[in-house]
Structure 1
Amino acid sequence: MSHHTNTSAEAEKVHQAALNLIYRHTHKDFKGVRAGVKEILTVRGLIELNDLSEFEVAARLPQALKKEAQRIAKREKERAQ
């Protein structure tokens, strides 16, 4: 049985998840929504989330992942009490 996967679709899902994490963990003063489109402030100015460069994503993702791990740990700790 052959398992054919669409790697570009999977890569896009991972990319969108990374963008969502970056947006979630960007301070409210540096993000917003205009005309239903999420935007984030960068050194290039206010940029649509989907228009972040790979470099900008790579620069922001480690901190977003760290904050997400802290959020999950806090939630789990609260549930355990």
Structure 2
Amino acid sequence: MKSEWTITYQTSEIKVVNTWFNGEFLFVNDELQDRTFGLYQSALAGHLINSKGEREMIKIRLGGAFKIKCYIFIDDKFISMK
């Protein structure tokens, strides 16, 4: 089973992919920035360049028992996926 979450933050596209057998992936503007293999929960990290040209850190948390949930934090602030 595969799950994907995609959001646009300012001018950057952030995509998180979770698969059962191949692990979890974080892409920023189609560039792979992190990959993990978590059983029950995973953490991914990366960065983006904001509209001011500054580097901002991205943290992704994946977890759940029956349904995987994805939480995105940019510079330690929760970003809601609408």
Q: What is the TM-score when the length of structure 2 is the normalising length? A: 0.28
**Which structure would you say has the larger RCO, counting Cα contacts within 8 Å and 6 or more residues apart?**
1
TM-score by length of 1: 0.28
Tell me which protein shows more helix as a share of its residues.
Answer: 1
